[in-house]
Amino acid sequence: MTKQATDNKRSRKKNFDTYKTFIDRKNVAMKLGSSVSLKTKRVIDSMLRGIGNSICDEASGLARSAKRQTLTDKDVFAAIKILFPGELAQNAIADGAKAVQKFKASLPPKKKKAPKPKAAKVPT
């Protein structure tokens, strides 16, 4: 085999452009015993994409109005409060905060910089 033929057979990174696999995982986790049709998956997928896009648009608008270039979790939480009604927003924010904490806990700890030694004063 030539090198070019082996390069074509290498595994490629999976493309997660859709939420279909995550919909299946959630269905299995709920143990309903029923499957979801492909048409239903498409509808749920487009709904999740629309919700995600609207949250991103609202959060980026909030960051822009605060004259910041960095999108923070506070911007996303505020966007969720604006877009979703009452208890749904509270549950989404609670789950989002839990996910952010879990992500931050998975990061390696930051190294603390040692304080610079002070220069000794020479008595005169």
Within a domain: 2? no
| CA 83, 88, 89, 93 torsion-angle sign | negative
Q: Residues 54-99: pLDDT tens digits?
A: 999 999 999 999 999 999 888 999 999 999 999 999 999 999 889 8
Within a domain: 69? yes
| CA 64, 67, 71, 75 torsion-angle sign | negative
Within a domain: 119? no
Within a domain: 70? yes
Within a domain: 120? no
- pTM for this structure? 0.66
Within a domain: 54? yes
Within a domain: 92? yes
Q: What CATH code is carried by the domain that includes residue 54? A: 1.10.20.10
Q: How many domains does the chain have?
A: 1
Residue 117, both tokens: 């030694």
Within a domain: 123? no
**How large a percentage of the chain has pLDDT more than 70?**
87
For 75, the domain range is 18-106
